[in-house]
């Protein structure tokens, strides 16, 4: 595939995914925490354009869901619910600030469970969107944190050299000496286990960010080491430029491409870290959805074998990763060909 | 020899550093194992205080580290509160299981990766190379959690492979052959999951370093001499491509160990993973420290093996 096409498609898909997850309240038709115990593990509703009499409709619709005697679900073909764009529904907060009730789509009257429901009858699609926000933002924030830390440590270490460099790089080696997940878990082990669900998010971000600074730091250090020997940097130093000015104006701009490619690699890795922590019950906890804790219900045997739609967060994760890796690949090739 | 000795001493310092780091982290931790016991009304505060002083938890950090070093020297590596026993014997069987799993998976993943990577580098640009690289990119994007869960689902649906654990319940009554077969069957799924997680990444590295080696001057010269392509590939290209791959071997072990933590928990393989998770949840600090240290030992050992291989493979390192 052409490199630019690859980059553009990857970026376009990522943009759509990020936008969806940035406005979860708008995209998701329902409140992710709203329970309906009568609809536990209901299968996804089928979207129809043609009713059972054979006549076609302009607007897609669903049939109402009926609960059978044995607890299984069927379509009640007597009741049709039509889809509608931008209806007002469950209230949510845009950016956590503005009260809103308008959603992207909804159905008149009934409840469209596009991806089924979980144990408590919560809408899996809405949870997928909200959970994606949690997982993705954990990854993004943690990547931001570790890139910032990494750039700082790398720049200081590469620019000042000598004992500062020695000390910082020994510390980096220490962090590299531990298998990454073991390190992550060890840090988690030493932090309080039971904290309120909302602050676990920040705890997780903090842990992942603090553990992941090593690789960007080493890369940035390498770039800084070679950049500070450039003639124009030496010239600027000769004119009496301060260290801060040299770093900011002449050296750090060299590291941007490294930081960018690192970001595209770190975000999926950190999203996966959040998912793993939450999956094992060490991260973001119920009732707040995250892709990790949504998948963790699959650890129960009967859920795994009977309800395939519980696997969907994993597939969403795969789609996200695929596009991140595509972009990372294309970017890396571009950076490499630009530097040679 | 100097090269290997230097690496060895560095590894020892690394381990010491990791143990100090773990103790520092432990100091940050609010609460300990006995916090949970406090909730039990049948145990008096005096008993808890006595227990804590017995395990040295009321002492300052350097003293505790000293005590731990003493017990490490005895071969105990601290004391597990939850199991009421020294840590080392607890870890022994789990390490064996994890090492077994990791060893088998590493071997298979590398064989696969070398095969696919070589093939794909030689056939660069052809349809089969494009197919291989595409498949690698896609399989890299599939999260390990999903692979493991999907495999479990497959196992339950088809019933060909046993679901979870390492041995069947009536394992002790088996003959030797049956035992080997039983473990093999239990091994299949976790190994598959690990190989699936690791092999694509390795194959990509193999492909890129072989592709680079193919353009090396010595290879071009060999081609100009009319040496048979197969001989060029194995006699000239592989040695050139080997160095970065040997270094990758150590790193691949670390990645594998991380992935295996999760896979072991999902597939309930009785290795370090589930044990570690349990210890974290129970705040069994010395078990946590012991496991972290052991994982470092694994990694350091992997890197040392890689260094040894480099030493054997590259005359430039041997001469210096």
Extract the runs of DSSP E, i.e. beta strands, from chain A.
48-50, 56-67, 73-85, 88-94, 98-102, 105-107
Can you tell me the mean pLDDT for B197-202? 89
Q: Model confidence at B35, in pLDDT bands (50, 70, 90)?
A: low
What would the two tokens of residue A31 be? 């409140």
* B106 contact A CB<8A: no
Q: Model confidence at B30, in pLDDT bands (50, 70, 90)?
A: low
Task: Find chain A residues with C-beta within 8 A of B25's C-beta.
Answer: 186-187, 190
Q: State how far residue A171 is from chain B, nearest Cα, in angstroms.
A: 9
Residue B319 pLDDT more than 60? yes
Task: Find chain A residues with C-beta within 8 A of B106's C-beta.
Answer: none
pLDDT at residue A25 in the model? 81
Residue A32 lies in a domain: no
Euclidean distance between CA atoms A13 and A21, whole angstroms:
12
pLDDT at residue B16 in the model? 84
What does the mean pLDDT of chain A come to?
A: 83
Residue A1 pLDDT more than 60? no
Task: Name residues whose C-beta falls within 8 Å of residue B40's C-beta, 6 or more positions apart in sequence.
Answer: none
A242 and A317 assigned to the same domain: yes
pLDDT at residue B256 in the model? 86
ipTM here: 0.82
Rounded-to-10 torsion of CA A256, A257, A261, A263: 10
What does the mean pLDDT of chain B come to?
A: 82
Residue B109 pLDDT more than 90? yes
Q: Give me the DSSP letters along chain B.
A: -HHHHHHHHHHHHHHHHHHHHHHHHHHH----HHHHHHT-TTS-HHHHHHHHHHTTTTS-HHHHHHHHHHHHHHT--SEETTTTEEHHHHHHHHHHHHHHHHHHHHHHHHHHHHHHHHHHHHTTTSHHHHHHHHHHHHHHHS-HHHHHHHHHHHHHHH-SS--SSSS-TTGGGS-HHHHHHHHHHHHHHHHHHHHHHHHHHHHHHHHHHHHHHHTSHHHHHHHHTT--HHHIIIIIIHHHHHHHHHHHHHHHHHHHHHHHHHHHHHTT-SSHHHHHHHHHHHT-HHHHHHHHHHHHHHHHHHHHHHHHHHHHH-HHHHH-
SS3 A215: helix
A60 and A209 assigned to the same domain: no
Which residue among A174, A182, A298 places its CB closest to the CB of B149?
A298
Which residue among B254, B266, B292 places its CB closest to the CB of A186?
B292
Chain A nearest-CA residue for B265: A280
A63 and A187 assigned to the same domain: no
Chain B nearest-CA residue for A177: B296
A208 vs A90, higher pLDDT: A208
Q: State how far residue A102 is from chain B, nearest Cα, in angstroms.
A: 34
Lowest-pLDDT choice from A79-93, A257-271, B207-221: A79-93
- Report how many Cβ contacts below 8 Å link chain A to chain B: 125
Task: Find chain B residues with C-beta within 8 A of A135's C-beta.
Answer: none
Task: Find chain B residues with C-beta within 8 A of A181's C-beta.
Answer: 257-259, 261-262
pLDDT at residue A293 in the model? 87
Which residue among A182, A191, A275 places its CB closest to the CB of B29?
A191
Tell if the CB–CB gap between A305 and B156 is shorter than 8 Å: yes
* B150 contact A CB<8A: yes
Can you tell me the mean pLDDT for B2-23? 81
Residue B268 pLDDT more than 70? yes
Tell if the CB–CB gap between A179 and B298 is shorter than 8 Å: yes
Can you tell me the mean pLDDT for B104-119? 91
* B145 contact A CB<8A: yes
What would the two tokens of residue B63 be? 């003293």
Q: Model confidence at A15, in pLDDT bands (50, 70, 90)?
A: very high
Multiple choice CATH, B95-319, 3.40.50.10330, 3.40.50.720, 2.30.110.10, 1.10.3720.10: 1.10.3720.10
Task: Give the model confidence (pLDDT) of B78-88 as tens digits.
Answer: 778 778 788 88
Task: Name residues whose C-beta falls within 8 Å of residue A130's C-beta, 6 or more positions apart in sequence.
Answer: A24, A28, A32, A289
Output the CA angle A315-A317-A318, nearest 5 degrees: 65
A199 and A139 assigned to the same domain: yes
pTM score: 0.86
Residue B305 pLDDT more than 70? yes
Residue A247 pLDDT more than 60? yes
A54 and A131 assigned to the same domain: no
Lowest-pLDDT choice from A205-219, A248-262, B172-186, B227-241: B172-186
Q: Model confidence at A28, in pLDDT bands (50, 70, 90)?
A: confident
Domain membership of residue A215 as a residue range: 126-339
Lowest-pLDDT choice from A315-329, B30-44, B259-273, B283-297: B30-44
* B187 contact A CB<8A: no
Decide: A123 and A26 in contact? Cβ < 8 Å.
no
A89 and A133 assigned to the same domain: no
A144 and A264 assigned to the same domain: yes
pLDDT at residue B105 in the model? 92
Task: Give the model confidence (pLDDT) of B39-69 as tens digits.
Answer: 677 777 777 777 777 776 667 777 778 888 8
A152 and A300 assigned to the same domain: yes
pLDDT at residue A146 in the model? 92
Can you tell me the mean pLDDT for A313-338? 86
pLDDT at residue B320 in the model? 63
Q: Which residues of A touch B (CB under 8 A)?
A: 170, 173-174, 177-183, 185-193, 272, 275-276, 279-282, 295, 298-299, 301, 304-305, 311, 314-315, 317-319, 321-322, 325-326, 329
* B39 contact A CB<8A: no
Residue A1 lies in a domain: no
Euclidean distance between CA atoms B115 and B122, whole angstroms:
11
Euclidean distance between CA atoms A78 and A54, whole angstroms:
14
Task: Give the model confidence (pLDDT) of A58-89 as tens digits.
Answer: 888 888 788 877 777 887 777 778 888 788 87
Q: State how far residue A154 is from chain B, nearest Cα, in angstroms.
A: 21
Q: Model confidence at B33, in pLDDT bands (50, 70, 90)?
A: low
A246 vs B4, higher pLDDT: A246
Q: Model confidence at B32, in pLDDT bands (50, 70, 90)?
A: low
Q: Model confidence at A339, in pLDDT bands (50, 70, 90)?
A: low
Query: Which secondary structure element, helix H or strand E, spans residue A318, and what is its range?
Result: helix A312-339
What would the two tokens of residue A116 be? 């089924």
Task: Name residues whose C-beta falls within 8 Å of residue B259's C-beta, 6 or more positions apart in sequence.
Answer: A181, B144, B193, B194, B197, B198
Give percent of chain A above pLDDT 90. Answer: 6
In Å, how far are B308, B315, B316 from B319, measured between CA atoms?
Answer: 14, 6, 5
* B292 contact A CB<8A: yes
- Of B35, B139, B141, which to mutate for an interface test with A (greatest number of A Cβ within 10 Å)? B141
Domain tally, chain A: 2
Q: Model confidence at A94, in pLDDT bands (50, 70, 90)?
A: confident
Task: Give the model confidence (pLDDT) of B234-255 as tens digits.
Answer: 888 888 888 888 888 877 887 8
Region of residue B31 (phi > 0: left; psi between -120 and 50: alpha; otherwise: beta): left
Task: Name residues whose C-beta falls within 8 Å of residue B17's C-beta, 6 or more positions apart in sequence.
Answer: A170, A174, A177
A56 and A133 assigned to the same domain: no
Task: Find chain A residues with C-beta within 8 A of B307's C-beta.
Answer: none
Tell if the CB–CB gap between B143 and A318 is shorter than 8 Å: yes
Residue A11 lies in a domain: no
SS3 A291: helix
Euclidean distance between CA atoms B130 and B136, whole angstroms:
10
* B297 contact A CB<8A: no
Euclidean distance between CA atoms B251 and B110, whole angstroms:
13
Q: Model confidence at A33, in pLDDT bands (50, 70, 90)?
A: confident
pLDDT at residue A340 in the model? 61
Euclidean distance between CA atoms A188 and B238, whole angstroms:
42
Q: Cite the residue boundaries of each domain of chain B with CATH code 1.10.3720.10.
A: 95-319
Residue A69 lies in a domain: yes
Among A112, A142, A165, the domain boundary falls at A112
Euclidean distance between CA atoms B196 and A285, whole angstroms:
29
Query: Which B positions 240-279 lie with beta carbon below 8 A of chain A?
Result: 254-255, 257-259, 261-262, 265-266, 276-277, 279
Can you tell me the mean pLDDT for A250-254? 84
A144 and A61 assigned to the same domain: no
Euclidean distance between CA atoms B199 and B108, whole angstroms:
8
Alpha carbon B151 to chain centroid distance?
20
A160 and A264 assigned to the same domain: yes
In Å, how far are A110, A146, A147, B86, B248 from A263, measured between CA atoms?
Answer: 43, 9, 7, 43, 22
Decide: A127 and A294 in contact? Cβ < 8 Å.
yes
Euclidean distance between CA atoms B123 and A246, whole angstroms:
47
A58 and A135 assigned to the same domain: no
Residue A298 pLDDT more than 60? yes
Decide: B77 and B286 in contact? Cβ < 8 Å.
yes
Residue A34 lies in a domain: no
């Amino acid at each position: 595939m052409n490199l630019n096409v690859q980059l553009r498609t990857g970026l376009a898909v990522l943009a759509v995914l990020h936008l969806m997850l940035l406005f979860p309240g708008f995209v998701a038709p329902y409140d992710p925490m709203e329970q309906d115990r009568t609809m536990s593990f209901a299968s996804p509703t089928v979207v129809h354009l043609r009713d059972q009499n054979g006549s076609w409709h302009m607007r897609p619709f669903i049939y109402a869901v009926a609960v059978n005697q044995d607890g299984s679900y069927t379509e009640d073909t007597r009741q049709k619910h039509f889809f509608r764009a931008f209806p007002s529904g469950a209230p949510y907060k845009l950016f956590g600030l503005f009260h809103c009730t308008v959603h992207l789509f909804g159905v008149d009257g009934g409840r469209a469970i596009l991806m089924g429901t979980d144990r408590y009858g919560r809408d899996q699609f809405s949870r997928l969107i909200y959970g994606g926000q949690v997982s993705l933002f954990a990854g993004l924030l943690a990547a931001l944190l570790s890139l910032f830390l990494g750039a700082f440590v790398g720049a200081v270490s590469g620019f000042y050299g000598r004992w500062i460099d020695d000390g910082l790089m020994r510390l980096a080696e220490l962090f590299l000496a531990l298998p990454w997940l073991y390190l992550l878990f060890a840090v988690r082990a030493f932090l309080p286990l039971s904290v309120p669900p909302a602050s676990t998010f920040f705890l997780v971000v903090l842990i992942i960010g603090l553990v992941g600074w090593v690789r960007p730091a080493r890369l940035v250090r390498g770039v800084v080491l070679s950049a500070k020997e450039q003639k124009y940097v030496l010239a600027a130093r000769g004119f009496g430029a301060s260290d801060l000015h040299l770093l900011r104006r002449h050296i750090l701009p060299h590291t941007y491409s490294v930081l960018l490619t690192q970001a595209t690699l770190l975000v999926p890795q950190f999203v996966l870290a959040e998912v793993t922590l939450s999956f094992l019950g060490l991260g973001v906890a119920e009732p707040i959805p995250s892709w990790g804790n949504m998948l963790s219900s699959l650890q129960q045997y009967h859920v795994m074998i009977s309800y395939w739609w519980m696997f969907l967060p994993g597939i969403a994760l795969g789609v996200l990763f695929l596009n991140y890796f595509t972009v990372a690949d294309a970017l890396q090739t571009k950076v490499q060909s630009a530097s040679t | 020899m100097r090269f290997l000795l230097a690496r060895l001493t560095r590894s020892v310092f690394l381990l010491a550093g990791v143990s100090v780091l773990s103790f520092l982290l432990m100091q940050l931790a609010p609460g300990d194992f006995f916090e949970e016991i406090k909730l039990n009304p049948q145990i008096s505060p005096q008993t808890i205080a006595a227990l804590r002083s017995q395990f040295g938890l009321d002492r300052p950090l350097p003293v505790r580290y000293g005590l731990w070093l003493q017990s490490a020297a005895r071969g105990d590596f601290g004391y597990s509160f939850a199991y009421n026993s020294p840590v080392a014997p607890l870890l022994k069987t789990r390490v064996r299981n994890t090492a077994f799993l990791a060893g088998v998976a590493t071997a298979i993943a590398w064989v696969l990766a070398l095969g696919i990577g070589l093939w794909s580098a030689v056939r660069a640009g052809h349809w089969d190379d494009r197919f291989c690289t595409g498949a690698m990119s896609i399989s890299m994007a599939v999260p390990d959690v999903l692979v493991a869960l999907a495999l479990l689902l497959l196992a339950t649906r088809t019933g060909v492979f046993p679901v979870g654990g390492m041995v069947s319940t009536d394992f002790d009554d088996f003959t030797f052959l049956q035992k080997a077969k039983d473990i093999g069957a239990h091994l299949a799924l976790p190994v598959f999951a690990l190989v699936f997680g690791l092999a694509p990444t390795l194959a990509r590295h193999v492909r890129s370093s072989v592709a680079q080696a193919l353009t090396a001057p010595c290879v071009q010269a060999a081609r100009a001499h009319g040496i048979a392509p197969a001989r060029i590939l194995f006699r000239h290209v592989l040695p050139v491509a080997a160095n970065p791959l040997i270094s990758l071997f150590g790193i691949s072990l670390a990645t594998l160990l991380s992935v295996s933590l999760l896979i072991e928990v999902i597939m309930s393989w009785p290795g370090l993973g589930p044990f570690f998770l349990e210890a974290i949840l129970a705040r069994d600090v010395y078990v946590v420290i012991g496991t972290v240290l052991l994982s470092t030992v694994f990694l350091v050992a992997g890197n040392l093996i890689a260094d040894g291989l480099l030493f054997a493979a590259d005359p430039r390192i041997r001469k210096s």
